[in-house]
Amino acid sequence: MFNSRACSLSETCSETGSSAESPSFELTNVYGKPTSGVMKDVVMVQGNQKIEVDVTPLMEGLTLFHCHQQLHMDYGFKLLFNAT
């Protein structure tokens, strides 16, 4: 399992490259509150807030985890990882 802190200071983030039929990450902490069993492929995050997710890629290869706001991606809010 790939553990990641994600979506700080953004509105929407998602992982691409996984099956459209299955959510691609589990929310483990939302704004300081622990959670479990909440599966998503896109999540809205309020400004100046933070969420934590566990990512389990559903297939091998490159996967892009990113914000849906272009300005945030331009400033580096994206992560490309290789699932093997």
Q: Tell me, what's the pLDDT at 5? A: 40
DSSP secondary structure string for all residues of 60-84: SEEEEEEESSHHHHHTT-EEEEEE-
Tell me the pTM: 0.63
The DSSP line for 24-48 is -EEEEEETTEEEEEEEESEEE--TT
Q: Is the pLDDT of residue 7 over 60?
A: no
Domain boundaries, the chain: 2-83
Which is more confident, 8 or 25? 25
Query: 2-83, what's its fold?
Result: Immunoglobulin-like (2.60.40)
DSSP structure class, residue 71:
H
**Under 8 Å between Cβ of 12 and 43:** yes
| % of the chain residues with pLDDT over 90 | 24
Report the pLDDT value the prediction gives residue 35, as an integer from 0 to 100.
96
Let me know: does 49 contact 11? Beta carbons within 8 Å: no
